[in-house]
Structure 1
C-alpha cells in the first residue's frame, strides 16, 4: 500500500559547473539546524548576462543497487514554462522552489540565481498528497543555456513514513 509523503529529509546536494567562465557556484550546501529542520541553499554566479535561453532536464531516481530511473525524466524550456506553465510535474517542482528563490520570472535572467533556505518541511507540505514509496531518492538536474549544458544540481532525499 502506498502512503502519502509524510517525512522527507534532505541527505545531500551536489552542484557542479561545467563552464566557470559562464557560471559558477558561490555556495551549494545543506544545513541542519536541529533534528527536524534542515534546509538547502545555493547561489550561482552568472558571468555572461543577460541569459535569454534556458532549458532544464531533470529526472527522479530511486536508490535500488545504485540510482535507477523512477517515474520522471523531463526536459523543459524554462523561459517558455515561466511564461506559460503547462507541465503538471514541472509546476510542482517550480512551486517547491519559487517561494525560496529569485528564479520567479520569465527570461531574461540578468542576475545571479539563488535558492535560499528551502526546507524539507516545506517540500513535504507540497508533496503530502502524493503516494510515493518510502526510500532513498535523487533528483538529477542539468541546466542548459543556449543548448549547452552549463551545470548539474543533484539533490538527494530520504522519504519515510
Structure 2
C-alpha cells in the first residue's frame, strides 16, 4: 500500500511539473518620442534594472494643451522575424469611449489590463493632468503573457501611437523577450 501511495505521489508531482509554464518575460528597451513638442513632451521614459531579476518601465508625459477631449490609441504588436513583423494585434481605439466602457473592446481591455494598476489613466475624458505610467514591472507583464493569454517565445515590440484630435502626437515602443 505504501508503494502504491509513493507511486501515486510521484505521478502527481510529474503532472504538476508538466503543467507548469516556464516562460519568462523580460524588458529589453523602451523608446518614447513626442511628435508635437508644443502639445506634449516626455519628462522621462526609461527602463530601470534594479537587479538581475527586477526591471520596470516608468513614463511621464507632460500635456501642454489641456483639457484633451479627443484621444485615439493605436496598439500594434510585432514579433521579430528578420525585423519586426505584425503579430496578432493591430487595433485603434477611441480612448474616451473605451474608458467609459472598458468591456466594449476585449482586445483593448487586455492591453489596458497591463496598465490599470500602474497609471493615472483610470478615468474618462477629458485629460487635464500629466499622464504617468509608474513602475510597470516585468513580473506583472510575465503573468499576463504566460498565464492569461500565453504567447510563444520570441522577441516582441509593442508599438503605441497616441493620437489627439486626429493628429499623431506621441509614440511609445516597448521591447521585450519571452523565453
Write 1 or 2 for the structure with the bigger share of helix: 2
The TM-score, its normalising length taken from structure 1, stands at 0.94
Distance in 1 between residues matched to 2:113 and 2:158, nearest whole Å? 15
| Contact map agreement 2:63 2:130 (CA 8 A) in 1 | yes
Compared CA separation, residues 71 and 35, structure 1 to 2 (3 A): same
Aligned equivalents of 1:153 and 1:129: distance in 2?
A: 24
TM-score by length of 2: 0.85
Residue of structure 2 in register with 1:148 after alignment: 167
Aligned partner of 2:72 in structure 1 is 55
As a proportion of its length, which structure holds more strand? 1
Gaps of 5+ in 2: 1-19
Paired residue for 1:132? 151
Larger Rg: 2
Residue 120 (structure 2) aligned to one of 73, 77, 102: 102
Query: Contact conserved, 1:141 with 1:153, CA < 8 A, in 2?
Result: yes
Bigger relative CO (Cα 8 Å, ≥ 6 apart): 1
Name stretches of at least 5 consecutive residues in structure 1 with no aligned partner.
none
Compute the RMSD of aligned alpha carbons.
Answer: 1.3
- Distance in 1 (alpha carbons) for counterparts of 2:81 and 2:173: 17
- Counterpart-to-counterpart distance in 1, 2:100 and 2:175: 29
Any runs of at least 4 consecutive aligned residues in structure 1 with deviations exceeding 3 A, and if so which?
Answer: none
Count of paired positions: 158
- The residue matched to 2:97 in structure 1 has which SS? helix
- CA distance in 2 between counterparts of 1:67 and 1:129 reads 24
